[in-house]
Amino acid sequence: MHIRIINPNTTASMTRVIEQAARALAGADTHISATQPEAGPVSIESHFDEAVSAVGVAEEVLKGEREGGIDAYIVACFGDPGLLAARELTRAPVIGIAEAGFHLATLISTRFSIVTTLGRTGIIAEHLLEQYGFRHHCRRIRAAEIPVLDLEHDPDAAFKRIVAECCRARDEDGIGAIVLGCGGMANLTEAISREVGLPVVEGVGAALKLAESLVGLGLQTSKHGDLDYPRPKPFTGKFAELSELRLPPGH
């Protein structure tokens, strides 16, 4: 099977980290490819960043559908930007890493805490917990207070701050597991778990395994109801090329 990972920001080095982490976990018969939008924010740290990046996510799914042969997509940002719009554009499963992380954490613990990058993005995580129905499972949303790109620019310091916050969550929150709240942490899961001594769920790996399971079960995105393909209509200005959108044959 072919799983396409979309990093919704435009930092290619982070896309490579995410891709490498996914390949290390993928099944023997799973082909992983990764991409990011051509335009948009270099990191996603606000509602505005998410709104802009959601367009890029949709564009990358449309590209994948035109290529053909992609069995599932992963949206590799913890805000799950553009997730439902992406699902409208394909029959393939589309998995957001926050939703995947929440699901898997509840299968191994009754309560979890989220450790993310910046405190302001924790509010976005709160919205997702409510939307997905996991609010009562989450004890606390904690922030290491590091910009997303510090995961690459100052990795040692970032790692120490993430581990310190995870340890506080372990000691203070009454939890059984931790969910990491950033796709850029995809390569840190094992190291953090060793330091903290709790199961650590990272969304890229969680989404990958859910995607493999859905494809293996033959389950696709439903086209009955609100996730049906968008109705073709005129678009104007910079989005004119989306006018009368027609998806590839067989959709």
**CATH code: domain of residue 103:** 3.40.50.12500
Whether pTM > 0.85 for this model: the answer is: yes
According to the model, what pLDDT value does residue 247 have?
73
Nearest to 90 by CA among 66, 117, 110: 66
pLDDT at 251: 53
**For residue 248, is it within any domain?**
no
57 lies in the same domain as 114: no
Q: What is the pLDDT along the chain (251 residues), one digit of tens a residue?
A: 999 999 999 999 999 999 999 999 999 999 999 999 999 999 999 999 999 999 999 999 999 999 999 999 999 999 999 999 999 999 999 999 999 999 999 999 999 999 999 999 999 999 999 999 999 999 999 999 999 988 988 999 999 999 999 999 999 999 999 999 999 999 999 999 999 999 999 999 999 999 999 999 999 999 999 999 999 999 999 999 898 787 755 55
Task: Provide the residue range defining the domain that includes 126.
Answer: 98-203
Total of domains in the chain: 2
Q: Tell me what pLDDT residue 211 has.
A: 98
Residue 249 has a pLDDT of 54
The SS3 of residue 201 is strand
Residue type, 173: D
Residue 189 sits in the same domain as residue 120: yes
- The confidence score (pLDDT) of residue 248 equals 57
CA atoms within 13 A on the CB side of 205: 18
User: How distant, in Å, are the alpha carbons of 31, 131, 183, 188, 239 from that of 128?
Assistant: 29, 5, 15, 23, 28
51 belongs to a structural domain = yes
Could you give the C-alpha distances from 22 to 34, 75, 194, in angstroms and in order?
Answer: 10, 13, 19
Same structural domain, 143 and 155:
yes
Residue 198 sits in the same domain as residue 120: yes
- Residues 178, 110 share a domain: yes
158 with 168, same domain: the answer is yes
